[in-house]
């Protein structure tokens, strides 16, 4: 990050002091983050572009005014209660007022752990006080909506916002507030993308250098590393509205030869549901997940019920996925095709390593 320096108010110092006289957030806490639309490839036309890693954490906006700090999730929900260590760090920063855009991350064994982040969203106060010491969070910043003097930058181009953010992070004097790296070279962004999907990042974000911060709009482009894997269909869940298949439960064989549940796919058209349901009924059997079995509804599942129907481990499907966390597909996968030519025992974890 370079040598630490004390924050100094940019521009008119008297104006900065006047703004600080009555502490208030420069922007309302319900300000929506600028969002991204999914792209197939890293853009290189219609720019100029700035490329950044897409971090594997919780997106947030952080606000400060004097001794008052707030952290908001992309949904608008407050996060400060669950991350008291970040609240303290932001409160201790020398800049008296600001609004920044970033990602909350927790590092474990050299990788960012989404599971550890999920565990932090705990209702019990005792756990909230205990977890910051066990799994401390960091904040990676990649945009600035209002500078350390409270001047609103959202309407200015990214080049101006980035310069202000770099000065801000340099003055932070803490390694727990990090500056997200950037590149203007598409080839370097492609290299970053190759390494995404199983670690600290899950893709690339492209932003136009001459655009303002467009709150709530999908003005950025996100590109994810898409891969495929052959998985055993170990069970299925029905739709909540009728007794037809809603999702297939996917499994991979671990090193002990046991079938672990790794996620689901629900990209089944209404036209094919009746025939597929009848076909799956012929494969009903004892639970095939001999390792980790499906539980109730979770962040990987959108099903209303935790009930699932077991199938004999004879069917194989090829699915498309974008990210793996804790030996599971982070998001729902896309069904590519059935693989009658594939031996289920060939469906192992080495495909997603």
Q: Residue 68 — φ and ψ, nearest 5°?
A: -100, 130
Active site residue 37: no
Rounded to the nearest 10 degrees, the angle between the axes of helix 84-92 and helix 125-134 is 70
Q: Which of 51, 95, 32, 90 is nearest to 209 (CA)?
A: 51
CA angle, residues 33, 34, 35, in degrees to nearest 5: 105
Helix (H) or strand (E) holding 236: strand 227-238
CA-to-CA distance for 101 and 239, rounded, in angstroms?
Answer: 38
Q: What is the chain's alpha carbon radius of gyration, rounded to the nearest angstrom?
A: 23
Task: Outline where DSSP puts E strands in 76-166.
Answer: 97-105, 107-108, 111-112, 138-146
Q: Name every residue whose Cβ is closer than 8 Å to that of residue 172 and which is 6 or more positions away in sequence.
A: 4, 93, 94
DSSP 44-95: -SSS-EEEEEEESSEEEEEEEETTEEEEEETTS-B-GGG-HHHHHHHHHSS-
Catalytic choice (54, 64, 156, 207): 54
By annotation, the residues acting in catalysis are 54
């Amino acid at each position: 990050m370079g040598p630490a320096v004390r924050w100094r108010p940019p521009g008119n110092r008297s104006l900065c002091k006047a703004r600080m006289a009555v502490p208030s957030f420069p922007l309302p806490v319900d300000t929506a983050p600028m969002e991204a639309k999914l792209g197939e490839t890293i853009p290189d036309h219609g720019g100029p572009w700035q490329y950044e890693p897409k971090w594997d954490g919780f997106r947030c906006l952080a606000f400060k005014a004097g001794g008052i700090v707030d952290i908001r999730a992309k949904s608008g929900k407050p996060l400060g209660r669950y991350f008291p260590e970040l609240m303290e760090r932001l409160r201790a920063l020398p800049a008296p007022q600001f609004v920044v855009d970033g990602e909350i991350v927790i590092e474990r064994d050299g990788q960012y752990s989404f599971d550890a982040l999920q565990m932090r969203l705990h209702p019990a106060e005792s756990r909230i006080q205990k977890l910051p010491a066990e799994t401390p969070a960091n904040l990676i910043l990649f945009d600035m909506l209002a500078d350390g003097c409270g001047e609103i930058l959202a309407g200015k181009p990214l080049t101006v916002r980035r310069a202000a953010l770099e000065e801000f992070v340099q003055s932070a004097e803490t390694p727990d507030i990090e500056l997200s790296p950037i590149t203007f070279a598409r080839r370097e962004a492609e290299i970053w993308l190759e390494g995404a999907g199983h670690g600290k990042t899950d893709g690339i974000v492209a932003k136009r250098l001459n655009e303002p911060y467009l709150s709530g709009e999908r003005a950025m482009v996100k590109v994810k590393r898409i891969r495929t894997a052959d998985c055993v269909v170990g069970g299925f869940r029905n739709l909540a509205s009728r007794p037809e298949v809603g999702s297939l439960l996917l499994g991979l064989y671990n090193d002990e030869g046991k079938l672990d549940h790794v996620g689901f796919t629900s990209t089944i058209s209404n036209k094919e549901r009746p025939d597929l349901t009848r076909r799956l009924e012929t494969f009903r059997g004892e639970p095939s997940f001999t390792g980790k079995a499906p539980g109730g509804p979770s962040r990987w599942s959108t099903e209303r019920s935790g009930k699932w129907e077991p199938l004999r481990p004879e069917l194989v499907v090829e699915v498309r996925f974008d990210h793996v966390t804790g030996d599971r597909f982070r998001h729902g996968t896309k069904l590519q095709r059935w693989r009658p030519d594939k031996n289920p025992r060939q469906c192992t974890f080495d495909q997603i390593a």
